[in-house]
Amino acid sequence: MSYKLRYALFFIIDSCIVLSAIFMSYWLLHPFINGYSDKVILFSAVTLLVSHHIAAYFFHLYDRMWSVASVRELLTISYAVTISVATASCIQFIIKNDIYFRVMAVTWMLHIIMIGGSRFLLRVLNDKESFRDTSNLKRVLIVGAGQGGLMLARNLKHAPNPDRIPVVFVDDDVNKQQLKVMDVIVAGTTKAIPALVAKYGIDEIIIAIPSLGRIGIKSIYEDCAETKLPVKVMPSIEDVMTGKVAVNEMKEVQIEDLLGRDEVKLDMVAISNKLTNKVILVTGAGGSIGSEICRQVMSFQPKQLILLGHGENSIYTIHMDLQQRSLGSIDLVPIIADVQDRDRIFEVVKQYQPDVIYHAAAHKHVPLMEYNPHEAVKNNIFGTKNVAEAAHEFGVGNFVMISTDKAVNPPNVMGATKRVAEMVVQNLAKESDTNFAAVRFGNVLGSRGSVIPLFKKQIVAGGPVTVTHPDMTRYFMTIPEASKLVLQAGTLGGDGEIFVLDMGEPVKIVDLACNLIHLSGFSEDEIKIEFSGLRPGEKMFEELLNKEEIQEEHIFPGIHIGQAVALPSYELNSLLETIAVSIDVSSKKKLIDIANNKITKEYQI
């Protein structure tokens, strides 16, 4: 219907209502008196008609979309009616020096009922959900009967091509119990989810509490897990309001949502001061951690971003990805180089004069490094030494090394080499104008060395999912978290500190496997879990800081600082010479002995 036609239709409908309502009121109060013979009523009717159309114009009663009207629109009708009735009452007083109060009161009420009813009829006719066959739609249980739940229920009910229908709410607010939201009952708390799923024949659960953090999601998911139904999360209201996503674009609960702690918030101003319009170099830029660091750095608009890595395909991939993101606004420089090549690293740092270096290049796979200890030493120790000394030599402002929790009391080659690399950085910090720091990660979900990709492949293949030991625990963080921690550390340290994320409680690997099986829509009966035993170099439990390193206070919300014990320079140099000799003579046994005994026992680190 065109705008003019709709406007004319509402004009005619309201005219009929206004002219008839006052005579109906008069008749209701004086059924045996002819109202048409009362000149006051006739003048009042004309006044009502004129004043109503004037008020309707100012309150836009004829150009609103009444098919989606709400309480606010009903209030505008009451404002317009009140003004027109008050105007007519004034005319009565002028004509007769009196006001028919009862007649005008009933007239006001009839106007509200009849005009509001005409609009409400359009609202009902537009409510297709009332006449829709919902038998083939997914029946949804919504967690959260607040603003997010209301928005989601309304969207699901009024979607033009719906695939879901809200059936029941749950909410832990006792004041909402047994109330209805969008005609959907709040039937219990989150603890009642399994029983309500069975009672109402639910097909899907949606968590509609956009402000809920990981701790809350994990708690609710535990209540949902035994139902074995898909569990999804509504996007944030901010993303919905800004148009990034639609209300009904739910995301799956991810394994990182079940870590049981919220992400660390960054000091954006401090990081921006370090990165904006600066030259940044990232080693290992093609790796899972290095590439995410590059993406995070990009958001701060550096002058130049140097992508250094040994694998040409991975550097090509991240270079193409970042080019599409920046659209040419940032100078991206792909560099193929090996951190073990000292001359090449010095050449790159001298040429580009970076303000900040993030050193992510390393060999990280524990069992592989047990089989290839020489490569771990060359890459992790001497590669780090090359990049760090180049930073010192050419006056780089900040150097941040990515380390690992496996550097604490290391029982394996990988952890031992990373601990020695930390000591290299710590010793340089004592004599250099460059600000040196290290960041220790736990296990990074989704990285190339993570168990998650392996578990997912095993689940797709029908199982079994292999876990090394039922009691093995690890600290976990996401790739974006790890990268953000690196950026924040670059603003906090400078004297060889070691930064560690407050990662909450360690997670059992077997629990992680169970959660991933459930998120994939299976049970442990369908996808079996088998225990394969510890692999070479693996620890049962990981530590982030040892007793000598721990400092209880947070230097930044969610970030601990540890002052790890460093060797005197002459002892460190002697150790490096010993390790270098062991490489030359290719004695794997001797190298492992140095890693496991020389470092951990003789030097007690």
Q: CB–CB of 361/315 below 8 Å? A: no
Let me know if 406 is a catalytic residue. yes
Give whole-number Cα distances, 529 to 255, 451, 460, 493, 536, in Å: 17, 14, 14, 43, 21
User: 3-state DSSP call for residue 200?
Assistant: helix
Catalytic residue among 364, 406, 484, 539: 406
Task: Determine phi and psi for 177, rounding to 5 degrees.
Answer: -65, 135
Q: How many residues does the chain have?
A: 605
Query: CB within 8 A of 225, min separation 6: which ones?
Result: 515, 518
Report the C-alpha gap between 274 and 281 in whole angstroms: 13
Q: What is the DSSP string of 219-262?
A: HHHHHHHTTT--EEEPPPHHHHHTTSS-TT--EEPPGGGGSSSP
The secondary structure of 440-459, three-state, reads EECEEECCCCCHHHHHHHHH
Spatial separation of the C-alpha atoms in residues 508 and 488, rounded to whole Å: 28
* Pair 221, 254: CB distance under 8 Å: no
Residue 541 CA to residue 539 CA, distance in Å, equals 5
Determine the Cα–Cα distance for residues 355 and 490; give it in Å rounded to an integer: 11
Give how far Cα 125 sits from Cα of 114, 118, 193, 486, 499, Å. Answer: 16, 11, 34, 57, 62
Within 12-126, strands assigned E span: none
Q: CB of 476 within 8 A of CB of 428?
A: no
Cis peptide bond prior to 464, omega within 30° of 0: yes
Question: Of 359, 350, 300, which is closest to residue 330 (Cα–Cα)?
Answer: 300
How, if at all, do strands 138-143 and 164-170 pair? parallel
Closest CA to 288 of 314, 320, 306, 322: 314
Q: With the C-alpha atoms ordered 544, 549, 550, 554, is the resulting torsion angle positive or negative?
A: negative
Question: How many Å apart are CA 529 and CA 513, to the nearest integer?
Answer: 8
Active-site residue set:
406
